[in-house]
Amino acid sequence: MIFSAAGLTLDFNKTTFGVERLSVDGDPENVSWVYGKNFALPYGNNFLLKSDFSGGKFTAEFLYFSEIVCSVVVTQKEGAISFVYSFKNEGKKNAELKEGDLGIYASFFDRFDDPELTLRRRVHAHVRTEGTTYVYCEKYSGDLPALGLIMTKGSCYSYSLERGARKGDRGEIILRLPQMTLAPQESYECEFLLFPSGGREDFFKKADGFGFLTASASDLAVFEGEEIVYRSAHAIALKTEEGEVPFVDGECRITAKGFGERKVTICSKNQELCSSYFVLSKDIYQKRIAFTTQKQYLSEGPFCGAFAAYDNERGEVLIKKGVRSPFNLGGFRAAPLLLLLREGQKGGLSAEWKAKTADSIAFYDREIYRDGEVSDDVNGRRARFFKRYYNYPLYATIKYEEYRYLGDLDALAQSAEILSTLYESGSVYEVTPAEKVVNALRQEGKTTLAGQLTDLISAAADKIIASGNKYASFKGLFYGPEIVYGSLSTLLDAYFLTGREYYLLVAEEHVSRLSDFLFPSLSYATDDVPEIFQQDRASGLIYDMSPHFTAIRFAEMYEKYFRATRKESCLDLARRIAKACLTLFDQYGAGRRSRSAAATVNDFTLSPYEEISCGEDVVLYHFDLLFGRK
């Protein structure tokens, strides 16, 4: 059954009442923004009792096995389509409902398919459940129109995914209604408005027109003593742990205190918006160095201690993996060496740690670096992909930093050799230190080697352009953030090294696509941080910043694009993302994310001083590289 209003056309399934097709009037591609038959259905153990598709109002009634009856009314309202859900307890006892027992399906067509198909006919949904709840949906191509869904009555504080087995499928989004108790004959009502949008600015303008509470913040990852400025048209007060601060002329200012996560609530007359910010440690670099070196004493081998989970109470190592272990893909275990090489360049290493750093360089040369190849014991197709995509660039970076630390021209030549091997293999999407290495070769008078590497980088950039920028030749991933920032890195390296303007012109298209994976938020963990989706409907969705794979690369690319164009907005965005990555560290220099991952994957809890990952070291190295030490 067709419901057309407010520039939208919805096709309801007669049997289920779910929306199985949703299109926006005037869309040249006539894309369906939803898939399956569940969009707009109430989530939970229920079945359809009756439905009515007459006139300008569609209605349905669903019965839950818990004797909750949900009525749904679909009408046109104020330039949007309104969905009103009323959950009523028809039983004789109180209905005790946990968060997520009730919910609403928002099954947008968010999927990484064939690259060409993804760019033309797939959409990406940015979901924000911060009390006030909305979904902003845009095409992966960046083309208009876009679509907005806002919750004008009721609240959501989390959402989850119902995922299928199809590779690249994000899954069906479920907006989880909060915990509640419904007495007999008591009801809970919520309303959503669905409307077309002419882009992000237009979405927030229309949401504001509907009286929806929105806000922005100057920064959500801050150092102690820095000021945070909140702005909102409808807010009247901001509640903190210390008290309440009023909004004056649409602004509210607070000063960051202490360390770690802080939660605040922004209030209007009838809505609340939850926000969280993170206070960073000013000496996190020094704390991380101390943490890494302290752990080294707990186990054997060069920097194996950086990845050994040590039980302080029992005095024994819980996990001890060598650098060539398949755990964490092997090669990234060398990441702490980056920090020490940078520290050595600044004269910050003791004599003891200079000796240890030299031992580690020799160890990795013997075990990992072999005549331009990067070797480890990880096998299998996916592992081989990671080996090329992550480990080659990492070891090229290590050899470059070794050159900077020791002035060793052989290390510089080895870095160039690793990069040549990588590019000669046909890779075009890796983020590498190629620009730095070529410039160093030129400064050292190695013009022939510099020219050869420049030609390989140019050929990789030409290959991207020849593919029509559709990423069709990429075999390792679907259309995702990795290949967008990887392509951008290659194009910008080619521009910096050759000065050819057309590389920069093509790069502009890739910069615009990076924004597909970023969206403002009032949570430090999601504000302009690349979105990688991990959890299922049982656990709820958790944002994983995948720091050494994704988020810090975005910061690198925005900073690199700033150097090419001098666009200050790109530098600001790079700094925001990089600072958000620093929230991975606790006050001891350990990785908070690593400990939670260990608890999830290995079913044990690490002590406050332990971790099992090394992505944090990559983050800190690049933060120091981009913005200097804080």
Please report the DSSP string for 111-132 in residue order. B--SHHHHHHH-EEEEEEEEBE
Tokens of 292: 């890494």
Tokens of 445: 């008078």
Q: Which CATH architecture has domain 2-209?
A: Distorted Sandwich (2.70)
Measured CA to CA, the distance from residue 412 to residue 414 in angstroms comes to 5
Between 531 and 364, residue with greater pLDDT: 364
The long-range contacts involving 440-445, CB below 8 angstroms and separated by at least 24 positions, are: 440/400, 440/403, 440/412, 441/412, 441/416, 444/409, 444/412
Amino acid code (one letter) for 173: I
Measured CA to CA, the distance from residue 213 to residue 198 in angstroms comes to 20
Domain 216-280 has CATH 3.30.70.20: no
Q: Which of 92, 286, 116, 254 is nearest to 186 (CA)?
A: 92
Tokens of 611: 């971790």
Question: What does DSSP assign to residue 383?
Answer: H
Q: Which of 118, 125, 133, 119 is nearest to 85 (CA)?
A: 133
Q: What would the mean pLDDT of 240-259 be, rounded to a whole number? A: 93
Question: Judging by DSSP bridges, how do beta strands 237-239 and 58-64 pair with one another?
Answer: unpaired
pLDDT digits (tens, 9 = 90+) for 555-613: 999 999 999 999 999 999 899 888 888 888 888 787 766 555 444 444 445 555 556 56
Q: What angle do CA 91, 93, 96 make, to 5 degrees?
A: 100
pLDDT digits (tens, 9 = 90+) for 22-46: 999 999 989 999 988 899 999 988 9
Q: What would the mean pLDDT of 344-352 be, rounded to a whole number? A: 88
Instruction: Give the three-state DSSP class for 472.
Output: coil
Between 181 and 338, residue with greater pLDDT: 181
Kindly give, in sequence order, each residue whose CB lies less than 8 Å from that of residue 385, ignoring residues fewer than 6 positions away. Answer: 476
Confidence of residue 411 (pLDDT cuts 50, 70, 90): very high
Confidence of residue 509 (pLDDT cuts 50, 70, 90): confident
Q: Is the dihedral of CA 509, 511, 517, 522 positive or negative?
A: negative
Give the pTM: 0.83
| Domains of the chain by residue range | 2-209, 216-280
Distances (CA, A) of 210 to 59, 79, 230, 454, 630: 23, 10, 21, 54, 42
Tokens of 142: 């960046």
Distances (CA, A) of 532 to 125, 126, 480, 604: 12, 11, 10, 24
pLDDT digits (tens, 9 = 90+) for 132-172: 999 999 988 888 999 999 999 999 988 888 866 555 667 78
Question: What does DSSP assign to residue 179?
Answer: P
